[in-house]
Chain A
């Protein structure tokens, strides 16, 4: 990283503050206690997990086993498109090529 020195990126920690209701904070504190971690660690770990899921879901579709089967079975059955889709395709091609 050539620019690191020039831009003075903080190498250790940066701060994040959030305003939340006392009841929500209490909920987080209780959950953190059960896991035996600090409130900060609890919130950071939870948010990180969620952020990774969101980013992953941008490009990855996670299917349940029965949805995988549904997909593969539909593919394997190799059925004809339904009537409405066929008509729509005929219509589309005639407009596009006109």
Chain B
């Protein structure tokens, strides 16, 4: 599998990860998000020249509001009311390709891109659409937010240790 930027010439329509909203996103909404600079979309495709889409993920820039934090917590950080973060909003693998650690590969690709990005981010945040996704991210050490449903994070200083 290789990872390429979203490209309409791939067979987006036959992508099926069993989660309808994630299938629909790829065919109906991904290109709009890209045009509006709301998210970038990367496709996992066969290394040989087929049009098959194995999986995909999205990245977008976010900020985390920490303005209400007490100073004693934030003294190790610059006095910014917001921390920059990167959101992996969606990550999906076609059902015919599940169980081959390809989701793991896409996740690592997303972390690598986030780390290598010329835009700094304090943490990578992921959104888990279901229990399975939640457990998937937790197994890699992502930490579940208590009050922000379905979101998990990993600080960049931990991610950095994987790629330096």
Chain A interface residues (CB < 8 Å from chain B): 58-76, 78-82, 84-86, 88-89, 91-92, 95-96
Main secondary structure of the interface of B (DSSP, over half): mixed
Which of B24-32, B51-59, B66-74 forms part of the interface with chain A?
Answer: B66-74
How many cross-chain pairs have Cβ atoms below 8 Å apart between A and B? 113
A89 engages B146 (CB within 8 Å) = no
Chain B interface residue number, banded = 35 or more
Complex CA–CA separation, A70 to B143 (angstroms): 9
> Given that A59-B63, A61-B64, A86-B162 are known contacts, is A66 also in contact with B147, CB under 8 Å in the complex?
yes
A71 engages B123 (CB within 8 Å) = yes
Centre residue among A59, A64, A81, A85 by max chain B CB count within 10 A: A85
Convert B134-164 into 0s and 1s, putting 1 for each residue whose CB lies closer than 8 angstroms to a CB of A: 0000011101011110010101011101110
Main secondary structure of the interface of A (DSSP, over half): helix
A68 engages B73 (CB within 8 Å) = yes
A61 engages B148 (CB within 8 Å) = yes
Complex CA–CA separation, A84 to B141 (angstroms): 8
List 15 A–B pairs whose Cβ atoms lie within 8 Å, in order of A's numbering.
Answer: A60-B63, A60-B65, A61-B85, A63-B66, A66-B146, A70-B143, A71-B64, A71-B145, A72-B74, A74-B143, A80-B158, A84-B140, A88-B107, A89-B163, A91-B108
> Does B133 make an interface contact (CB < 8 A)?
no
A63 engages B65 (CB within 8 Å) = yes
Complex CA–CA separation, A66 to B148 (angstroms): 10
Cβ distance B136 to chain A, nearest Cβ, rounded Å: 10
A85 engages B141 (CB within 8 Å) = yes
A64 engages B157 (CB within 8 Å) = no
3 smallest A-B Cβ distances: which pairs? A92-B108, A64-B147, A89-B162
Complex CA–CA separation, A23 to B155 (angstroms): 48
> Does B125 make an interface contact (CB < 8 A)?
yes
Centre residue among B111, B125, B141 by max chain A CB count within 10 A: B141
